[in-house]
Amino acid sequence: MKNTAKRIGILTAGGDSPGLNAAIRAVGKAAIGEFGWEVLGFRDGFLGLAEDHWLPLDKPALSGILTVGGTILGTSREKPHRMEIDGQVRDMTDTIAANYRRHRLSALVCIGGGGTHKNALRLVKAGLNIVTLPKTIDNDVPLTDATIGFDTALGIASEALDRLHSTAHSHHRIIVAEIMGHRAGWLTLGAGIGGGADVILIPEIPYTPEKIAAAIARRAEGGRANFSIVAVAEGALSHETAAAFAVAKRKKQQARTAEKRKIAKAELKELDLRHAGNTLRLARQLEELTGLEARVTILGYVQRGGTPSVTDRILATRLGSACVSLIKEGRFGVMVAARGNTTTAVPITDVAGNLKLVPTDHEWVRAARRVGTCLGD
């Protein structure tokens, strides 16, 4: 009798995030327990598939990892078409496809954020059966209500703001807390609201330092409050910087020659470099404008570590188990998205290269404004 058992692969790519192991566990346990499939895990993202570094994900390997942070498979940001191998940058797409077929995989599950979806789409075009799961603490993957890791990071960032209140109040200071989020402000906005920040600055709403200083000064009027908490996304921009970026991006879009595109890209890179350290500059500006002492706390990678929240464990389990059902149905080239209390499959082509940004009229934005939070504009 012909063996019809399936074998699927799993990899995690991009930055680490709470809930990755919960997702790996969900995919593996559903595949093994419900359908009797064999499951392989590829180490360090797409690099592991290119270099054929893998491990069997059997029941013992999947046991006890639900609450463990990080990823048992490891991760990297290597891209299939631009991968550094033996000191040289090479296109490894054909090698990845060959290894996929040599292992007789029926499907490959890629768990990651924006970059992972771009890379997954390349493998779809190379003829591989791909299903993806959305993971990022930034919550910026489009067409899904939530991404794996966001809830945990939101709790960590909110708790950090809670703890900063006592220092700010005791020393009559401005505390500027930098929260992750290069291009999308979901994490900073949510943490700022949940952690009672007085000022919230996100990439989608350019700020003016003078307006922030005025809001802080109003808090001090009449002795109401002699401290302020400023939650700032690492990608937050002043009006001036946002305008410069807009001009540079427009130049790149309108460039008709390779030379002009090169110049525009160099200008964008220079703006990125100048933007580094923006939170420290903002703190100095606020000191000068208000006369109050300002201190900076950069939460950094602590937001991505530790035990995933129960909400993230449930989300990862929902998406991972639904992923296996899609593979069983032969539905590929899709991302498993969370929609309310259900899941749905959306084309990777609609996800790759797109971002879910905070609408400036979003309910969270309106709520922040109603309770008197300054958004810098």
Task: Provide the CATH number for the domain around residue 264.
Answer: 3.40.50.460
pLDDT at residue 223, rounded to an integer: 62
pLDDT at residue 3, rounded to an integer: 42
Q: Structural domain tally of the chain?
A: 2
| Residue where the block lists tokens 């005025």 | 214
Final residue of a structural domain among 304, 323, 342: 304
- The type of residue at 136 is T
Q: 2 lies in a domain?
A: no
Q: Could you list the pLDDT tens digit for every one of the 377 residues in the chain?
A: 344 569 999 999 999 999 999 999 999 999 999 999 999 999 999 999 999 999 999 999 999 999 999 999 999 999 999 998 888 899 999 999 999 999 999 999 999 999 999 999 999 999 999 999 999 999 999 999 999 999 999 999 999 999 998 887 776 789 999 999 989 999 999 999 999 999 999 999 999 999 999 999 888 775 666 789 999 999 999 999 988 888 888 888 888 888 888 888 888 888 888 888 899 999 999 999 999 899 999 998 899 889 999 999 999 999 999 999 999 999 999 999 999 999 999 999 999 999 999 999 999 999 999 999 999 99
Q: Is there a single domain that holds both residue 240 and residue 317?
A: no
Rounded to the nearest 10 degrees, how much is the dihedral formed by the CA atoms of 306, 312, 318, 321?
-10
Q: 356 lies in a domain?
A: no
Q: Is there a single domain that holds both residue 286 and residue 317?
A: no
Q: 370 lies in a domain?
A: no
Q: 300 lies in a domain?
A: yes
Final residue of a structural domain among 270, 304, 338: 304
Cβ burial of 26 (10 Å; 0-12, 13-18, 19+) is buried
pLDDT at residue 49, rounded to an integer: 96
Final residue of a structural domain among 246, 280, 304: 304
Q: 366 lies in a domain?
A: no
Q: Is there a single domain that holds both residue 91 and residue 143?
A: yes
Beta bridge partners of 347: 334
Structural domain of 246: 154-304
CA angle 76, 236, 173 (to 5 degrees): 110
Angstrom distance (rounded) from CA 91 to CA 119: 12
Q: Is there a single domain that holds both residue 298 and residue 271?
A: yes
pTM, full prediction = 0.93
Catalytic residues: 138
CATH of the domain at 72: 3.40.50.450
Contacts of 267 (CB under 8 A, 6+ apart): 248, 251
Q: Is there a single domain that holds both residue 57 and residue 133?
A: yes
Q: Is there a single domain that holds both residue 162 and residue 300?
A: yes
